[in-house]
Amino acid sequence: MTNSVRVAIESVLFLGGDTDATRAFFNLVMDRLHEGSDSGQTVSFVPSVDAPTPPSGCWVPCFGSTDKNASAGRALEFGADLVANLALGGRDLSMYSAPDGALFVLADLIDPKPQPQTLGQVAFVDLYTPRAKEAADYYANALSCRVIHELKPTPGDYRFLAWGDEPVAGVVDMLDVLPESVPPHWIPYWRVLDLEGEVARLSDFGARVRVPVTESALGPFALLADPFGVTFGLQTPLSDNLLVEHAKSRS
Amino acid sequence: MTAADSDFADHRALADALTAERPLHALVRALHRISSAPVAVIDLHGGVLVSVPERAEWMAEELVAVSPPADGPVAGCVLRSVELEGEPVAVLAMRGQGASTKLLSFAATLAGIELSRRHAILSGRRELLGQVLEDVISGYLGEQEGARRLLDHGLDVGKPHEVVVGSAEGSPRRLRSYPWNLHTLLTQQNDPHLRTIVDDRVVLVVPEQAGLFVARLCHEHLASIGSNARVGVSKPRAGVRGLRLGYFEARNALAEGYGVHVHRTQDLPTALLIASLEAGVPLRDLSAEALAPLVEYDRKNDTLLVDTLRRYLAEDGDVGATAARLFVHRNTLRNRLRLIEELTGRDVSSPSNYAHFWLATSGLDLHSSANLSSLFERGTVQDD
* Nearest CB to B181; choose among A31, A200, A215: A200
**Is the pLDDT score of B267 beyond 60?**
no
Q: Are the Cβ atoms of A196 and B216 closer than 8 angstroms?
A: no
| Amino acid at position B36, single letter | S
Nearest to A143 by CA among A34, A3, A244, A248: A3
Mean pLDDT of B356-366: 81
pLDDT for residue A59 = 94
Question: How confident is residue B98, by pLDDT bands cut at 50, 70 and 90?
Answer: low
Smallest CA-to-CA distance from B153 within B121, B176, B126, B180 is with: B126
pLDDT of residue A38: 42
**What per-residue confidence (pLDDT) applies to B75?**
84
pLDDT band at B280 (very low <50, low <70, confident <90, very high): low
- Residue B224: pLDDT band by 50, 70, 90 thresholds? confident
pLDDT per residue as tens digits for the range B153-194: 888 999 999 999 999 998 888 888 878 889 888 876 778 888
pLDDT attached to residue B149: 92
Listed as own residue / partner, the contacts of B24-33 with beta carbons closer than 8 Å and 24 or more positions apart are B24/B49, B24/B50, B24/B111, B24/B114, B24/B115, B24/B186, B25/B50, B25/B52, B27/B107, B27/B110, B27/B111, B27/B114, B28/B52, B30/B107, B31/B92, B31/B94, B31/B99, B31/B103, B31/B104, B31/B107
Give the model confidence (pLDDT) of B47-91 as tens digits. Answer: 999 999 887 888 888 888 877 777 778 888 899 999 988 888 999
* Chain B residues touching residue A197 (CB < 8 angstroms): 187, 189, 192
pLDDT at B27: 96
Per-10-residue mean pLDDT of chain A, 251 residues long, equals: 74 87 84 47 77 84 92 93 87 91 90 70 91 93 87 69 89 83 92 91 91 90 93 93 84 70
Chain B residue with minimum CA distance to A225: B47
Q: Which residues on A lie below 8 Å from B49 (Cβ)?
A: 209, 212
Q: Strands B161-169, B77-84: parallel, antiparallel or unpaired by DSSP?
A: unpaired
| Per-residue pLDDT band at B279 (split at 50, 70, 90) | low
Please state, for a pLDDT cut of 90, what percent of chain B lies above it.
41
Of B234, B256, B86, B79, residue with least CA distance to B165: B234
**Chain A interface includes B98 (CB < 8 A):** no
pLDDT digits (tens, 9 = 90+) for B113-142: 999 999 988 888 888 888 898 888 888 888
Confidence of residue B111 (pLDDT cuts 50, 70, 90): very high
pLDDT of amino acid A39: 41
Say if CB B24 and CB B114 are below 8 A apart: yes
Partner A, chain B 131-190, Cβ-Cβ below 8 Å:
180-181, 183-184, 186-187, 189
Residues 76..95 of B with a Cβ closer than 8 Å to A: which? none
Choose, out of A209, A223, A231, the residue to mutate when testing the contact with B (most B CBs < 10 Å).
Answer: A209
Whether pLDDT at B377 is above 50: no
Contact B181 A156 (CB under 8 A): no
- Taking 50 as the threshold, does the pLDDT of residue B287 lie above it? yes
Among B48, B60, B210, whose Cβ lies nearest the Cβ of A205? B210
At residue B376, the pLDDT reads 45
**Hey, what domains does chain A have and what are their CATH numbers?**
7-249 (3.10.180.10)
Structural domains of chain B ordered from first start: 3-116 (3.30.450.40), 121-281 (3.30.70), 287-378 (1.10.10.2840)
Q: Do A209 and B183 touch (CB under 8 A)?
A: yes
CB distance A25–B213 less than 8 Å?
A: yes
CA distance A68 to chain B (A): 37
Q: Of B190 and B244, which is predicted with more confidence? A: B244
Distance CA A171, CA A147 (A): 9
Give the model confidence (pLDDT) of A38-54 as tens digits.
Answer: 444 478 888 877 777 78
Q: In which band, very low, low, confident or very high, does the pLDDT at B107 lie, cut at 50, 70 and 90?
A: very high
Q: B89 contacts in A (CB within 8 Å)?
A: none
State the best of B29, B164, B187 to mutate against chain A, taking most chain A CBs within 10 Å.
B187
- Compare all CA atoms of chain B with the CA of A198 and give the residue at the minimum distance: B192
Chain A hits for B184, CB-CB cut-off 8 Å, are 200, 204
